[in-house]
Amino acid sequence: MCGIVGYVGSQKASTILLEGLKRLEYRGYDSAGLAVQQNGRLELARKVGRVENLVKEAAKHRFTGTTGICHTRWATHGGVTEANAHPHLSSDGKIALVHNGVIENYAAIKKFLLPKGYAFKSETDTEVLSNLIAYHYAKEPTIAGQSRFLESVRKALRHVEGTYGIAVLCLDCTGEIVAARKGSPLILGVGDKEYILASDVSALVSRTQNVVYLKDGEVVHVTPKQFFISTLDQEDVSPVVDQVTWTIDAAEMNGYAHFMEKEIFEQPAALENSMRGRFSEDGSTAKFGGLNLGPVDFRQIDRFVFLGCGTAWHSCLVAEHLIERFARVPVEVDYASEFRYRNAPLSGNPLFFVMSQSGETIDTLGALREAQRKGYKVLAVNNTVGSTIAREADGGIYQHVGPEIGVASTKAFTSQLLIGAMLALHVARMRDMSFADGVEFVSALKKAPDLVREALKQAGHIKAVAKRFSKYNDMLFLGRLSLFPIALEGALKLKEISYIHAEGYPAAEMKHGPIALINEQCPSVFFAPQGEIFNKVVSSMQEVKARKGLVIAIITEGCELPPGLADEVITIPDCHEAVLPIVATIPVQLLSYYIACERGCDVDKPRNLAKSVTVE
């Protein structure tokens, strides 16, 4: 959600901090601010709105200091105001703090601090933490072998309930930052005589590709010459320096109008990267190096449980359909946010999969930990090397699609669909699928990138359809079997970036309630591929037309609709049913994107949304 950047080095901190914040704009935010050590003060600049507003404000301050922290806020406690924007300064002026996460017991801490003379200017939980650190700093004498600043942060965090990723400045400690995390990502970039802290790799990769991923419960003390990592209990931690495998060029728009548009058209290459090296030499099955489970283990599994949120949950639903269809193993799909709290009865020998593009989704991470706490193995599908979910899972599959900047997921989603299909094949070949059927399945998957390229050629036609339908404020998306989750995804995309009310349903369920919504002002998007249920979907379309509803039909090549049944037709290549959800996703991504553009929406920064949801 919120974004953090910190800098310690020899260059002007404000320039580097603001550059980092601009690269975090995609995460979602409503205000921004920075604090810099200079002239014996902690000097702050904060503004509501876009980072560009903060850039203008910072120019008035003439920042020259070489150590600082900054933040983009996504409001949780308190409204969108300058007073609530980060960084927050303690009332004694000693401590400046930026924070991602939620301090759940902030009210009790505030009650403790008020009688001790600490004042509060904001409604936030974060200001409470800055004052708590200041309180411990004021009462803590220097301890031999320990930094007073570091120890005051440690002591404060031991009283905190909730989640946090924080970066802290102290007035008395020039050129130093103390940072810590619990449940909210934080990364240290190790540069050339400089260090950059960030909540996301994209904020620091322009300056270094050497990074240390902090773990929950770890605290890092950064000085101009070195850094030290320890735990809240003062145990030293040996840092592991990883290398980021992509460069800043991968996070540039390269001529596209929006990151979302770029990432839609990157999908053929992304799919190729996701499947590269993951088929057996005989071409009959998929193989994964990181599952840490062999054929015997897989044969003993009596069901799969998939967990995800939002778009990832939709990909889990498609995986459910394909695994049950081809591997004949029961699959359950649950919202990660619900699973961890509803105490679902678990028996037998299930295997859990969690899906999260970022690997930091707080609800999915909580569900992973809950399943492991009950003694079950959990595998992860995610796109971010070094993420918390990737580290804590018992094994997993990296998507390898490169950075996804657009808030509305596109290439990460179709990659998850592909990996779900490959998992279905992997398990099916260990059970009842024949060699010949496996070869056919692999051949179909290998065609997916080219089929997506063909579907993308419809962009011009879909843009014209979007222009016609952009004026409507309600829309239904309807599909069956593996395309029902794609209907859900199409509706979600439209909601996310164009703010149109949209709903996804199984096409046959329309007459069980949603048909009441049908009128001339509520268009319906139908998935009607060639196959055994084609005529059933056509019947549902006729029910809509009989009530004067408008119809956009997404059909596969070779389908023939009754004359006049659809107001607009979008044709995609006919393909294997394991690949169909991937190819069918392309038209609804483009339709949502072009409608949002027609309505003048900020596609890459939709209101109220964040790329990675790291707070409950």
Q: Check 22, 47, 182, 611 and give the catalytic one.
A: 611
In a domain, 488, yes or no: yes
Q: Whole-number mean pLDDT of the chain? A: 88
Rounded mean pLDDT, 323-350: 89
Report the domain count for the chain: 3
Pair 427, 463 in one domain: no
Rounded mean pLDDT, 155-177: 92
What CATH code is carried by the domain that includes residue 211? Answer: 3.60.20.10
User: Which has the minimum average pLDDT: 151-165, 328-342, 511-525?
Assistant: 511-525
Give the model confidence (pLDDT) of 53-88 as tens digits.
888 888 888 888 999 999 988 777 778 888 888 899
Consecutive H or E run containing 610: none
Token pair for 478: 């309807």
Pair 288, 163 in one domain: no
Alpha carbon distance 79, 122 (integer Å) = 10
In a domain, 329, yes or no: yes
Pair 77, 147 in one domain: yes
Pair 433, 538 in one domain: no
- Work out the pLDDT band at 142, boundaries 50, 70, 90: low
Pair 184, 58 in one domain: yes
Pair 237, 262 in one domain: no
pLDDT of residue 146: 62
Closest CA to 380 of 351, 411, 356: 356
Q: Taking 80 as the threshold, does the pLDDT of residue 447 lie above it? A: yes
Q: Taking 70 as the threshold, does the pLDDT of residue 251 lie above it? A: no
Q: Taking 70 as the threshold, does the pLDDT of residue 248 lie above it? A: no
pLDDT of residue 143: 60
Give the model confidence (pLDDT) of 280-334 as tens digits.
999 999 998 888 888 888 888 889 999 999 999 999 999 999 999 999 999 999 9
In a domain, 452, yes or no: no
Alpha carbon distance 454, 591 (integer Å) = 16
Which residue, 227, 248, 269, sits at the end of a domain? 248
Tell me the DSSP string of 74-85: --SSS-S-TTTS
Alpha carbon distance 127, 85 (integer Å) = 10
In a domain, 451, yes or no: no
**Reduced to 3 DSSP states, what percent helix, strand and coil does the chain have, rounded to the nearest 5?**
40, 20, 40
Rounded mean pLDDT, 147-159: 92
Alpha carbon distance 476, 490 (integer Å) = 9
Domain region containing 425: 253-446
Q: Taking 60 as the threshold, does the pLDDT of residue 173 lie above it? A: yes
In a domain, 280, yes or no: yes
In a domain, 453, yes or no: no
Catalytic-residue membership of 2:
yes
Alpha carbon distance 99, 35 (integer Å) = 13
pLDDT of residue 145: 54
In a domain, 243, yes or no: yes
Pair 422, 530 in one domain: no
Consecutive H or E run containing 190: strand 187-190
Rounded mean pLDDT, 33-45: 90
pLDDT of residue 1: 58
Rounded mean pLDDT, 268-280: 92
DSSP state of 73: E
Rounded mean pLDDT, 94-107: 90
Q: Where are the alpha helices (DSSP H) in 11-121?
A: 13-23, 51-61, 106-113
Q: Check 2, 70, 316, 575 and give the catalytic one.
A: 2
Rounded mean pLDDT, 487-493: 94
Catalytic-residue membership of 611:
yes
* Burial tier of 343 (Cβ tally within 10 Å: 0-12, 13-18, 19+): exposed
Which residue, 248, 274, 299, sits at the end of a domain? 248
Residue whose token pair is 């699928």 = 433
Q: What's the order of all strands across the beta sheet hosting 242-243?
A: 41-48, 31-38, 67-73, 3-8, 195-198, 187-190, 210-213, 242-243
Q: How far apart are the first and last CA of the chain?
A: 11
CA 33 to centroid of chain Cα atoms: 23
Q: Taking 70 as the threshold, does the pLDDT of residue 611 lie above it? A: no
Rounded mean pLDDT, 196-209: 86
pLDDT of residue 511: 74
Query: How many percent of the chain have pLDDT more than 90?
Result: 49
Residues 6+ apart with CB under 8 A from 41: 93, 171
Alpha carbon distance 447, 410 (integer Å) = 19
- Work out the pLDDT band at 388, boundaries 50, 70, 90: confident
**187-190 and 210-213: which strand pairing?**
antiparallel
Pair 296, 381 in one domain: yes
Token pair for 109: 């801490």
Pair 216, 306 in one domain: no
Helices (H) and strands (E) in the chain, counts: 19, 25
Pair 8, 138 in one domain: yes
What CATH code is carried by the domain that includes residue 490? Answer: 3.40.50.10490
- Work out the pLDDT band at 144, boundaries 50, 70, 90: low
pLDDT of residue 247: 63
Closest CA to 261 of 404, 357, 415, 383: 404
Pair 398, 519 in one domain: no
Which residue, 426, 446, 466, sits at the end of a domain? 446
Q: What is the pTM for the complete model shown?
A: 0.79
pLDDT of residue 610: 56
Give the model confidence (pLDDT) of 514-554 as tens digits.
777 777 888 999 998 888 888 888 888 888 888 888 999 99
Give the model confidence (pLDDT) of 545-601 as tens digits.
888 889 999 999 888 888 888 899 999 999 999 999 999 999 999 999 999 999 999
Rounded mean pLDDT, 349-363: 89
Residues 6+ apart with CB under 8 A from 9: 16, 66, 67, 191, 193, 194, 195, 224
pLDDT of residue 369: 92
Q: Taking 90 as the threshold, does the pLDDT of residue 157 lie above it? A: yes
Q: Where are the alpha helices (DSSP H) in 140-266?
A: 148-157, 259-265
- Give exposure, 421-456, as e/b (b: 16+ Cβ within 10 Å): bbbbbbbbbbeebeeeebebbbebbebbbebbbbbb
Closest CA to 30 of 602, 593, 481: 602
Pair 136, 76 in one domain: yes
Q: Taking 80 as the threshold, does the pLDDT of residue 16 lie above it? A: yes
Amino acid at 604: D
In a domain, 542, yes or no: yes
